[in-house]
Structure 1
Amino acid sequence: MNKKPLFLAMALAGAVGSAAAGPVIDFSGYMRAGVGLNTRGGNQVCYQLAGADTKWRLGNECDYVVEPNINAKLAEFEGSDWHVHVMPSVYKAWDAGQSQPDALTTRFGQIYTYGDHISQLANGKVWAGRRFYNRLQLGINDQFLENNDGNGAGIEDMELGIGKLSVAFMMDPNYGVPGVATDTSVKNNRFTFPVRLTGIKDIPNGDLSVYVTGSMQSKTGGADGQEAPKQPKGLAVGAYQTINGTLGGSTIFGAKFDKLGWTKNSRIVIQQTGKFGDVTGWDAIAEYRINKQHNDAGNDAGNKWFSLGARTDTYLGGPFRALLEVGHDQVKPDAGSAIAANARSTGALTMTKITGTLAASAGKDPGSRPTVRLFVTHAAWNEAARLNLGGTTQAVFGDKKAGTSIGVQGETWW
């Protein structure tokens, strides 16, 4: 196991924190880990429908991850604060590399410096480095409606009166080019210009956010003398309305369109949180996405995806809670898609996943962490979906139309 990133993070925190006049250190992070098995023996199997953008995550995560964040305030100048942020991380998939169970993927997920509350930038922020950026996430299916992670620089959250404006340049030369991602000698020379305007107070109890991201290929070539394949320009536009105080929680309604060459995606999504009485919180998501693209023969090769699911989280007493999550996905492939060819028809693929959980958590609220969950997950799918199963699901349950996993998972953020 490579422990260097975590060791360096803890050493940095300890060394700086012990200095008499050292900077202020904020230590935060996220982790999840656990163990599971399937009813046929072996490791836990996780279930996702072919062609679906997401899966329902409760009792359905076959991995573990640790992401410690160290943020050090280094200086103040004319009312502004200046920081460095470092986030090493380790990741491991349960169903991969079992011959080396302690071998982890390590990386620096984030390492950047920034200045905040700069009056000359409308009380905004200037930053440069590698970071998570523009992450707009739906929790119970772990979907990022917006995501521009990578290397870059930008000006963020400038207060313009109507909202907060952020502009960035993002690029990651360490990631492979689409279509040749496994060829590490060819580097990605694609970059994006994400622009967002958030906090637009269009209604008394809510606000609107707008994201616009343009992308294109730079003229510089790949590594080792290899040129990256020609890539088209891209554009993504998303708008998301938040309404607070609905059904004891809040509503997010969004619509997004993105285009890259022959590939086009149009989607609408709604997330609703709420409460049943004083002890049960709930979270529901509905989404419809249309993917349009062409294969080499010029035929339509996309699909239409519909997803609907919800989770309830009920306080029982002491540290104990009960969770229930149900999610249903349906994918209707176009006639020219690989999914349709595998299914030998253009019929819809369907999958329904249900998870029951008994948890012990440090608090009465649904978001109380740390938490340890004992779960049972069962998924069922139709014949068209069975013909498109992949990975461990195919290896274990490829001759079935249902599968079950049992496990224990720990999760926390701090």
Structure 2
Amino acid sequence: METKQMNKNIIPAPRHLLLAAAIGALSPSAMALDYKGYFRALAGSNSDHGGAACFKLDGAMSKYRLGNECETYGEFEFNQDVLTTEDGTVFKGNIMLSLHNPNSTGGGTDVGLPQVYVEGEKLPELNGASAWMGRRYYNRESLGPNDFFYWSGQGFGGGIRDVPLGQHAKFSYAWLRKDNLIPTTTGQFPPAGALAENGSNSASRHDFQLRGVPVNRNGTLELGLSLIVKDAQGSNKVDKEQLHNGYGITLQHRQLGLPGDGWNKFALQYGVGPGTGGADSAIGAIGRLTDSRRVSRVRLVEGAYAQFTPRLGAELVAIYQKDKGFTAARTLVGSTENKTWTSLGAHVVYGLTRHIKLNADVGIDSVKPDTGPTRRLTKLTIAPTISAGPGLNARPDLRLFYTYARWNDAARAAASVASPGSALSSSGAFGNSNNGSTVGVQAEVWF
């Protein structure tokens, strides 16, 4: 698991295939088998005496997580050392199973296979770097409080990873496909990513990353370039002349050495056409191929984490994003808009005893379309927690939480059009009200 919050990326797969993969991975002949996983589940009641309600502003690309994830979700990863050669090279097989239930109290659980790949590590021919092929995600960058994956090297293809350049820097390259084999990279279900947007069309992504360039004490620079190259011939709905190439650029500064194992990340991102990522939160992911070079996305991301004392830890989030270039015919409220999205949030944890801590977070989202009123949502959660330890990242967590949210009329109007039935919409749990709350319990663990 590369981050504390694992991506909610659901890719359907035949259940018998998943079962066979799991049995094979756990067979008695398996040796040097490693496994890790993540799981969360929530149950609650809203202030209008219905089920748990969760709050997200339409047009924002994330929501603040604490006491605000109504789905049940889990990921379970198995890594098998297949062969170790005399020169120290290690070949591994990797499988990740996932499950997703959009409603913790209902049925309809989807099982997926988001990762299945083979990797050769410590290759002398690559100066100790790795080569891999299959479906995977790697080098993903996210913000914990709102689970926002803004930079991601995930997909189906192959590449080389962490080739040393000089004393500190490392280079990675991946060739990734986006076609009918991968329905989505957004974590949404049903598919809302490139497959849903592009139909039978497909494209290649050439992903270049350079990381670990030292610029100051405990600080490094990281650069990413993603080139999206169409190879589709069009369809009966979209002519090939309407399809476009695109690109995404990321420049990030990473600062280590904050209290505890703390860090700070500041990223500047720019995407054009399909390189904006479309419905995917990661700039550089393959977005809608019909987006021309007039369509662009610029983003600033600031994230920080520190464990100031054994009892006190905090995370901070700040996001600015500007989308432009869409024609009136392409505008879709809550999804495809010329708009500015800003987000500011904090998650604070204080350990009262060794196994009891107090979680609290607040998140403020604002979406300002070029035409129309600004939409706003403020969300606050307090969560007394029984935990494995007092630290922010200590797990498992058993939480009792209270979540309160307030939104304006513009947010309710947009939700009524873009996501009818959601908590903010007039057809949702709170009707024409501009506020609501949920009280409930939530379990979260990674291992």
TM-score range, shorter chain: 0.7 to 0.9
Task: Please state how far the C-alpha of 1:305 moved relative to its aligned partner.
Answer: 1.1
SS of 1:191's partner is strand
Change (3 A) 1:80 1:219: same
TM-score by length of structure 2 reads: 0.81
Equivalents in 2 of 1:145, 1:298: separation in Å?
A: 24
Q: In structure 2, what is the Cα distance between the partners aligned to 1:160 and 1:129? A: 25
- The question of whether the paired residues in 2 share the 8 Å contact of 1:5 and 1:88 is answered with no
What is the alpha-carbon distance in structure 2 between the residues aligned to residue 140 and residue 5 of structure 1? 34
Q: In structure 1, what is the equivalent of residue 200 of structure 2?
A: 187
Alpha-carbon deviation of 1:365?
Answer: 1.9
| Pair 1:52-2:60 in alignment | yes
Q: Determine the C-alpha separation between the residues in 2 that align with 1:301 and 1:56.
A: 22
Deviation string 1:49-80 (CA, Å, 9 cap, x unpaired) is 12112111111111111211000001012221
Q: 1:214 to 1:277 in 2, by over 3 A?
A: same
TM-score using structure 1 length: 0.88
Specify the code of the residue in structure 1 equivalent to 2:170.
K
The structure-2 alpha-carbon separation of the partners of 1:8 and 1:89, relative to structure 1 and needing over 3 Å to count, comes to: farther
Alignment of 1:75-114 (within 5 A): 75-77=83-85, 78-94=87-103, 101-114=106-119
Q: CA deviation at 1:269?
A: 1.4
Match of 1:412 in 2: 445
> Residue 429 of structure 2 aligns to a residue in which SS?
helix
Distance 1:165 1:191 in 2: 20
- Find the residue that maps to 1:396 and give its secondary structure: coil
Q: 2:297 aligns with which of 238, 248, 265?
A: 265
Counterpart mapping for 1:350-389 below 5 A = 350-389=376-415
How many angstroms does 1:246 deviate by? 3.7
* Residue 321 (str. 1) matches residue 334 (str. 2): no
**Shift in alpha-carbon separation, 1:128–1:253, aligned structure 2, 3 A:** same
Letter aligned with residue 348 of structure 2? T
Deviation at 1:176, TM superposition (A): 5.4
Secondary structure of 1:61's match?
coil
8 Å CA contact 2:121, 2:131 repeated in 1: yes
Structure 1: distance between partners of 2:67 and 2:412: 21
Q: CA deviation at 1:251?
A: 1.3
CA distance in structure 2 between the aligned counterparts of 1:30 and 1:356, rounded to whole angstroms: 23
Deviation at 1:232, TM superposition (A): 1.2
1:133 Cα offset (Å): 3.2
Secondary structure of the structure 1 residue equivalent to 2:414: coil
Considering fraction of residues, name the structure with more strand.
1
* Matched-pair contact (CA < 8 Å) for 1:133–1:150: no
What residue number does 2:243 align with?
Answer: 231
* Residue 202 of structure 1: how far off its partner (Å): 1.5
Q: CA deviation at 1:220?
A: 5.4
Aligned to 1:293: 325
Equivalent residue in structure 1 for 2:125, among 120, 123, 135: 120
Q: Aligned match of 1:279 in 311, 325, 329?
A: 311
Q: Percent sequence identity over matched residues? A: 29
Deviations 1:383-405 (A, max 9, x none): 11111123421221241101101
Residue deviations 1:168-220, cap 9 Å, x none?
11113234598995599x43412211110111112121111111101021145
Q: Is the alpha carbon distance of 1:179 and 1:69 closer, same or farther for their aligned partners in structure 2, counting shifts above 3 Å?
A: closer
Whether the 8 Å CA contact 1:176–1:183 is kept in 2: the answer is no
Q: Which residue type is aligned with residue 170 of structure 1?
A: L
Tell me the secondary structure at the aligned position of residue 66 of structure 1: strand
Provide the rounded CA distance (Å) in 2 between the counterparts of 1:243 and 1:193: 27
- Equivalent residue in structure 1 for 2:430, among 382, 390, 397: 397
> SS at the partner of 1:317?
coil
Aligned partner letter, 1:400: S
Distance 1:114 1:151 in 2: 13
- Which residue does 2:9 correspond to in 1? none
Structure 1's 359 and 106: CA in aligned 2 closer, same or farther, altered over 3 A?
A: same
Q: Could you tell me how far apart the structure 2 residues matched to 1:24 and 1:259 are?
A: 44
- Name the larger-Rg structure: 1
Q: After superposing the two structures, state which structure 1 stretch, 152-161 or 40-49, moved more.
A: 40-49
Partner amino acid, structure 1, of 2:173:
V
The one of 117, 129, 137 equivalent to 1:132 is: 137
User: 3-state SS of the aligned residue for 2:306?
Assistant: strand
C-alpha separation in 2, matches of 1:26 and 1:160:
30
- What residue number does 1:203 align with? 216
| Cα distance in 1 for residues equivalent to 2:324 and 2:122 | 43
CA distance in 2, matches of 1:331, 1:263: 18
Deviation at 1:10, TM superposition (A): 4.5
Q: Which moved more, 1:398-407 or 1:273-282?
A: 273-282
Query: How big is the alpha-carbon RMSD for the aligned residues of Structure 1 and Structure 2?
Result: 2.6
Which ranges of structure 1 fall in alignment gaps of 5 or more residues? 336-345
Counterpart pick for 1:164 among 167, 170, 173: 170
SS in 2 for 1:59: coil
Letter in 2 for 1:31: F
Matched, 1:252 2:274: no
Contact 2:18 2:113 in 1 (8 A): no
Q: CA deviation at 1:41?
A: 2.6
What is the identity, as a one-letter code, of the residue corresponding to 1:411?
E
Q: What is the DSSP-based 3-state SS (H/G/I as helix, E as strand, rest coil) of the residue aligned with 2:303?
A: strand
Residues 400/368 of structure 1: CA separation in 2 closer, same or farther (3 Å cut) = same
CA distance in 1, matches of 2:407, 2:237: 43
Aligned residues: 392
CA–CA distance in 2 between the matches of 1:67 and 1:382?
36
Q: Show the 5 A alignment for 1:328-347.
A: 328-335=364-371, 346-347=372-373
SS in 1 for 2:125: helix
**Any stretches of 5+ residues in structure 2 without a counterpart?**
1-13, 185-191, 274-291
CA deviation after TM superposition for structure 1 residue 263, in Å: 1.8
Secondary structure of the corresponding residue to residue 120 of structure 1: helix
Kindly state the Cα deviation for residue 4 of structure 1 after the two structures are TM-superposed.
5.2
User: Is the 1:210–1:238 Cα contact (8 Å) retained in structure 2?
Assistant: yes
